[in-house]
Structure 1
């Protein structure tokens, strides 16, 4: 994936509050915004189908704009949402996991058994996150291993609660 993988080259409004997004790296995604439009005050104006149909590529391909400087959505967030809606794992999950665990990039890469560079690719959305890597993140969170030794079983509910105090 190129470093411009969040640069939008085209947007097409589709029926039922969906968008078709084409990015500079050649990838095309469809994203359904209906739930967000009907649950968010900020996006409420987009309930008007005529306004929604006016979606256009924003400044430098970094947003989808409806009303310039008033109503737009970032292309990185839209891509993340589209990936998640298609059953993939969006890169923001890695950002959140790193933040929640407090691990450095080096520690996290070692915990997952991958290189620091590969973790950065996943974190920055430059490569798709394999299901096995996301499952490893969830597994690490569940057991919080100490050092290099891995547990031989998943913790019980009580053990898990002890590892994750409120």
Structure 2
């Protein structure tokens, strides 16, 4: 199985209430509720029609869920990320965003988090679930923005930060 098979759908089943049951090539199954996306997106508004929503099917090579070919679909990796987040997990897209926002290289980020570069890649690519401790380390790094190899002795409080006057 290739490393991207965890984003390849093998089965899609529409359920009531704008929910999908998704099965991926790595054997994982998820339920995902699309109500919020459908309610807040013009592009997805046609899916408010329950008869159209019920037509959900596996798209080309299992990379999408399709309703109207070449017109209305959602990517399998985004749906998996949403399902993980909805179940209380930490979706891999958070690591992508954190890396982008911090500007850290993979090597720098792995060192900052105290994990191997390879493990960070597994988390970033969604190949392994992100432990809560790793995500908390990302948030902690954001809070203190350490410089160099020296970690701060304490976390700054709200009183340590200047509040812009305006």
TM-score (norm 1): 0.94
- Structure 1 residue 46 corresponds to structure 2 residue 47: yes
Aligned mates of 1:92, 1:82 — CA distance in 2: 12
Shift of 1:38: 1.0
Shift of 1:152: 2.2
Shift of 1:160: 4.5
Aligned mates of 2:91, 2:162 — CA distance in 1: 27
For residues 73-152 of structure 1, what are the structure 2 equivalents within 5 Å?
73-152=74-153
Q: Match of 1:29?
A: 30
- Secondary structure of the 2:43 match is coil
Shift of 1:159: 3.4
- RMSD of aligned alpha carbons: 1.3
Q: Match of 1:15?
A: 16
Aligned mates of 1:76, 1:98 — CA distance in 2: 18
Does structure 2 conserve the Cα–Cα contact (< 8 Å) formed by 1:20 and 1:28?
A: yes
Deviates more, 1:152-161 or 1:120-129: 152-161
Point out 4+ residue stretches in structure 1 off by more than 2 angstroms.
158-162
Aligned residues: 162
TM-score (norm 2): 0.94
Structure 2: runs of 5+ lacking an equivalent: none
- Secondary structure of the 1:26 match is coil
Q: Match of 1:63?
A: 64
- Structure 1 residue 153 corresponds to structure 2 residue 154: yes
Does structure 2 conserve the Cα–Cα contact (< 8 Å) formed by 1:143 and 1:160?
A: no
